[in-house]
Amino acid sequence: MAKSQEQQHPIKAFGWAARDSSSVLSPFNFSRRHEIVGVVTEVGSRVQKYEVGDKVGVGCLVGSCQSCDKCANNLENYCPRLILTYGAEYHDGIPPRMEHFVIRIPDNLPLEGAAPLLCAGITTYSPLRYYGLDKPGMHVGVVGLGGLGHVAVKFAKAMGVRVTAISTSPSKKEEAIKRLKADSFLVNRKQDQMLAAMGTMDGIIDTVSAVHPILPSIRLLKTNGKLVVLGAPEKPHELPVFPLLM
């Protein structure tokens, strides 16, 4: 990439995701972070959107070819020459990044609050928007209340969506209802609760990274409902085809 399009900012805050610790844990400068915010310290001659002193953030992607059909259609994450944030060898732990992949952080948003939005945030916000699950009055289930799940609940509520938090842990009900403001809570091991909720949801955001049954979630969906699986378990899910056809 052209140096004139790059900018640098030292890390001021970062989110810690499961993938950040998936290769090695070390007491030394750790370079697998990908929810990064900071203040611009240097810009290239062709940078137009930012200047030194701006608060900015960068997520998983820091560069792409910007010339293929995927980049031309805002699908840089599929670019064959994609450049990821992970594993940098620069003095601050991350490489300089193209202006196109940097976002501005508003002054009224604390840096430590902005960092998780750059991976967990966009991972849950994007499917809510892309699959049309952002309309007020719709009913969306969120499976799992970990890093992704709690952000998904908050985004969906902010969009005016009715949210049901779904978990294997009854102890998470208080957090889901009182803190995250979910409208209802299901324990997916309780057959009576799951049966009562069958066919009631417009969409489900599944954030669980452990292998778990998918069929119970499918049964909660209305006809033409949407199931979005965001978790990445080590082993493949068992996905029954016949219920999808019906």
Which pLDDT score is estimated for 87? 59
Residue 18: CATH number of its domain: 3.90.180.10
Residues 241 and 125 grouped into a single domain? yes
Residues 62 and 126 grouped into a single domain? no
Residues 99 and 10 grouped into a single domain? yes
Residues 144 and 51 grouped into a single domain? no
Residues 211 and 227 grouped into a single domain? yes
Q: CA nearest 229: which of 240, 244, 214? A: 214
Residues 100 and 136 grouped into a single domain? no
- CB count in 10 Å sphere of residue 62: 24
Last residue in a domain, options 93, 118, 143: 118
Q: Convert the pLDDT of each residue in 169-200 to its tens digit.
A: 999 999 999 999 999 999 999 999 999 999 99
Residues 240 and 126 grouped into a single domain? yes
Last residue in a domain, options 118, 139, 169: 118
Amino acid at 69: D
Last residue in a domain, options 118, 141, 167: 118
Q: Convert the pLDDT of each residue in 200-234 to its tens digit.
A: 999 999 999 999 999 999 999 999 999 999 998 88
Which pLDDT score is estimated for 85? 80
Residue 165: CATH number of its domain: 3.40.50.720
Which pLDDT score is estimated for 46? 80
Structural domain count, the chain: 2
CA pair distance 17, 204, nearest whole angstrom: 22
Q: Which residues of the chain have pLDDT under 70?
A: 1-33, 87-97
pTM: 0.81
Amino acid at 20: D
Q: Which residues constitute the domain of residue 191?
A: 121-245
- CB count in 10 Å sphere of residue 113: 12
